[in-house]
Structure 1
Amino acid sequence: MRGDYQLPTGWRWDSECVNRFEELLSWAEERAAANGITLPYQQPGFKPESVMPPLAEPEGEEELSFVDSVFCDPRLRTETRQSVTIGTVGPVCRLFVRGANHLHVHDGHHLERSLARPAGTGLLSVCNHIATIDDPHLLAAVVPARLLLRGAAEMRWAVCGHDVCFREGSMLKKWAEASKALPIVRGAGIWQKELDTIIAKLQQGDWVHYFPEGKIRQDGRIHPFRRGVGRLVASVEEPQRLQVLPFYHVGLDRVQPTTPGSTSILSRPQLGTHIHVIFGEPVDLSHLLQLRGEPPFDQQPTLLYEVIAHTLEEEVRALRTELHRRLGGELGAVPPEGGDFG
């Protein structure tokens, strides 16, 4: 993979990014070799286009740095910056997951059907949160490749903590905005204006991916889903105008381990890992949404939000059980329950 994937003509990677990538990749290759592992892209005949088609080259000969072309050119509108970012960073993330690791997608037809939902119907996908690269890396790897090349319109809106991705003046904030990420303020409650923005995206028929656990967990457990996800669902007036797609995944916690003392978003990756993703059918919540005007939910809507959140939590937990059943002992025993909000 190294050296084979090129950005479109006229663009160049920042030298510091290249050096850092080469350093991490060399370390990962040495570790894989020491354990007798052959990475997929090291196998004879591997071609990057086998997991990601080549990108179309933009018109024009003016040479711009990748960062400048995405963030600093005032001629580019927000939508254009997002399309450029998703069309370039997305394929790189896809190559990382599919080319440097082993991705196994189970029941992916549920995702494909949701992506082909009727116009004006929102899509809310929910899953466990086990690594900093759950999004964008995993989502870029599981969607059809053509989705990344069509621009930003059909790709998901991500949700990231304001204290992580949206610190004023940080380069990460610019990356987040250009990658279709929306802020959320952890600890600010379910009536914060940031949730209103997410709801508006769903109401206009967009796809939003949401991590209901609220933070990264690498203990194998499904921790309680916070009631904010319940408010997202209940705020779309017509149940048929929203699909809620659950999925469960495992493996990225080994690719990108996080420790309690971690101060960096990224750590040295452990490549050659088997990553499994299992999708469920869209969850029918219409029977719960019919209760919005009934006591006690008409006076205390947060109670309904909690019921919806718990229902989705159980859906993801059931997918974990099903994945363990299909893979036998490959994943080990299902971790004991007992997760918390902490």
Structure 2
Amino acid sequence: MLIETRAYARAGLFGNPSDGFYGKTIAISVRNFGASVTLYQSPELTIEAQPQDTNIFRSLHHLRDAVSTLGYHGGVPLLKAAIKKFAEYCEQEQIRLPNQNFSIRYSTSIPRQVGLSGSSAIIVATFRALMQFYSVEIPQPILPNLVLATETDELGITAGLQDRVIQCYEGCVYMDFDRETMARQGYGQYEPIDSQLLPKLYIAYNTDLGKQSGRVHNDIRSRWLKGEPLVVDTMAAIANVAREGRDALQRQDTKLLNELVNRNFDLRAQIYSISDRNRSLIETARVCGASASFTGSGGSIIGLYRDDAMLNRLFVELRKINARVIKPYVV
């Protein structure tokens, strides 16, 4: 039995990054890029390393570039962590798993380190493969929690629920992470939105991020926990962008949708440090007449464009700063 599963890249459209602060977001799955997992029964449990997991390099410079784009460990730790968390969930739920082993491998086309959630896609695909192999059903609202716990508990990755929710639900989803709701049921309210309501969207992402040096540290969480008014009020305003965005999508109010995309980034920039490289993505897109905000933590942007002429201009101008433009495929 050969099992093949897949999970897709994602882009935050509105409300990002308020998901980690009991806020609201709207996100889309981006089927242009995906991570796939292949699993089959075998005598021993084997995780098959991929070329990006190699410890053999052509030169010192090759190692430097590989670590810059792929991290120190590649994707194998993601598979190990997901398998461990799956086993713990089954034990906690008193689900007896049959005594059968498997071999597992992954592949991914999601650009790394540009805010399109490549790591969590690998984990989601792994959970789907394990669920199918062992005939285990994990409730859809619970699965994003397990994916998030895999990253935070096992790998020490700071993250929020938005990415995992959209990768588990797919399509376009409005998410409300209200504190009381989260405390009561353990997850937020997740409302699918008809993707036919989406306006003309583009995504642009850096193609040379691995050659960037240095990262700006933003200590927003501790400031939010301390109740700093600027951070608390700004994060609430970012969450409200998602609420307004849901209503604007229903009304097909393109003018307001453009304004909300821009507002999302402008609010974020009030409390987060934005690198020159990331700011140039935003400014270049806006000069072309498009709206622009981050899809995630930085490295890629999303926004609305008016027509093919504007889209072509985005292609040309963003290419000049080493960014690639795509039209997201959303189902």
TM-score (normalizing by structure 2): 0.34
Identify, as 1 or 2, the structure richer in helix: 2
TM-score (normalizing by structure 1): 0.33
Identify, as 1 or 2, the structure richer in strand: 2
